[in-house]
Structure 1
Amino acid sequence: MVKLRLKRCGRKQRAIYRIVAIDVRSRREGRDLGKVGFYDPRTNQTYSNVPVILYFLERGAQPTGILHDISKKGLFKELRVN
């Protein structure tokens, strides 16, 4: 099963997160299937590649709870995840 989840990047105390499509059996920093955006919690800045996200969602990928909450806050202006 594939999930859309956050992958931690950046340096200590200044984390940013990549939004990636990854197999559920992989660890957080494991090999991803595709990068679909990023999220910076310090500035609430988000970039999402909507066509790629829709590609993975159409093929059965599930967003994690955190990504669902981010989409509810309105950070994904182009995409609303159910």
Structure 2
Amino acid sequence: MVKLRLKRCGRKQIYQIVAIDVQSRREGRDLRKVGFYDPIKNQTNLNVPAILYFLEKGAQPTRTVHDISKKAGVFMEFVLNYQTKFN
């Protein structure tokens, strides 16, 4: 099973948003980097097509990644893609 979670990078509080196997550690080997989050500067950079790909495959985002993605409107695109596939 795959999760979308934060992975810490650098000395400051800067995080990468990664797709990672559930059994891996937080700092373990990721499957793919799908975004970047800096809470101090309040900056977010997301690879929306990659996030949508993993969500379609059944990946579960952590609560924090879910909130970040929700602010960016990723789930609206997920719903629109889902509706166009089955209509």
Greater share of strand: 1
> Equivalent of 2:75, from 67, 75, 80?
80
Sequence identity (%): 73
Trace 1:1-80 onto structure 2 (pairs within 5 A): 1-11=1-11, 14-72=12-70, 74=71, 76-77=72-73, 79-80=74-75
Runs of 4 or more above 6 Å deviation? none
Gaps of 5+ in 1: none
TM-score, normalised on structure 1?
A: 0.85
Max Rg structure: 2
Greater share of helix: 2
Gaps of 5+ in 2: 79-87
Aligned CA-pair RMSD: 1.6
TM-score, normalised on structure 2?
A: 0.81
